[in-house]
Structure 1
Amino acid sequence: MWNETRDPMPLAERAVNVNLESPLIGVEDLLKVQDARGSKAFAMREQPFRDLVNVRGELSDAAFVEAFERTVGCRPPAAPNTVARSANYDVLWLGPDEWLVRSSAPVPAGVLEAKLAPEIGECYAAAVDVGSGYTVVEVEGTRVRDVLSRGCPLDLHPSLFKPGQCAQSLYFKASIVLIPIAADRYELVVRRSFADYFCRIMLDAAASLTP
Structure 2
Amino acid sequence: MAETATRTTRHSPLAHAADRFAAATRTSGGDLRLAELPFLAQLDVRLDPKGPAADAVGMALGLPLPLEPDTAVRARDAVRDLAVLWLGPDEWLVVGRPGTQQDLETRIRAAIGDEAAAVTDVSAQRTTLLVAGPRAGDLLAHGCSLDLHPRAFGPGRCAQTTLARAQVVLVGRERGFWVLVRSSFADYVADWLLDAATEYL
Match of 2:93 in 1: 100
Q: What are structure 2's unaligned runs of at least 5 residues?
A: 1-7
Deviation for aligned residue 1:129: 0.5
**Alpha carbons of structure 1 residues 115 and 44: separation in structure 2 relative to 1, 3 Å:** same
Q: Percentage identity across aligned positions?
A: 36
Q: Is the 8 A contact 1:80 1:93 kept in 2?
A: yes
What does 1:195-206 correspond to in 2, within 5 Å? 195-206=186-197
Match of 1:155 in 2: 147
Match of 1:74 in 2: 63
Question: Could you state the TM-score of these two structures normalised by the residue count of structure 1?
Answer: 0.82
Letter of the 2:163 counterpart: Y
In 1, Cα distance between equivalents of 2:63 and 2:100: 21
For 2:10, which of 10, 20, 24 is the aligned residue?
20
**Alpha carbons of structure 1 residues 156 and 164: separation in structure 2 relative to 1, 3 Å:** same
Q: Is the 8 A contact 1:94 1:100 kept in 2?
A: yes
Secondary structure class of the residue paired with 2:83: strand
In 1, Cα distance between equivalents of 2:73 and 2:170: 15
Match of 2:172 in 1: 180
For 1:119, which of 99, 107, 111 is the aligned residue?
111
In 2, Cα distance between equivalents of 1:50 and 1:159: 27
For 1:139, which of 131, 135, 145 is the aligned residue?
131
Deviation for aligned residue 1:85: 2.3
What does 1:39-78 correspond to in 2, within 5 Å? 39-62=29-52, 64-78=53-67
Deviation for aligned residue 1:108: 4.6
Match of 1:33 in 2: 23
Deviation for aligned residue 1:178: 1.1
Deviation for aligned residue 1:101: 0.5
Q: Is the 8 A contact 1:42 1:140 kept in 2?
A: yes
Deviates more, 1:76-85 or 1:20-29: 20-29
Letter of the 1:77 counterpart: P
For 1:170, which of 138, 158, 162 is the aligned residue?
162
Secondary structure class of the residue paired with 2:124: helix
Once the two structures are superposed, residues 23-78 of structure 1 have per-residue CA deviations (whole angstroms, 9 ceiling, x without a partner) of 1023234224324436312220112221100000111111x023202321112111
In 1, Cα distance between equivalents of 2:27 and 2:153: 29
Question: Could you state the TM-score of these two structures normalised by the residue count of structure 2?
Answer: 0.86
Q: What are structure 1's unaligned runs of at least 5 residues?
A: 1-17
Structure 1 vs Structure 2 CA RMSD: 1.9
**Alpha carbons of structure 1 residues 110 and 21: separation in structure 2 relative to 1, 3 Å:** farther
- Runs (4+) off by over 4 Å: none
**Alpha carbons of structure 1 residues 163 and 175: separation in structure 2 relative to 1, 3 Å:** same
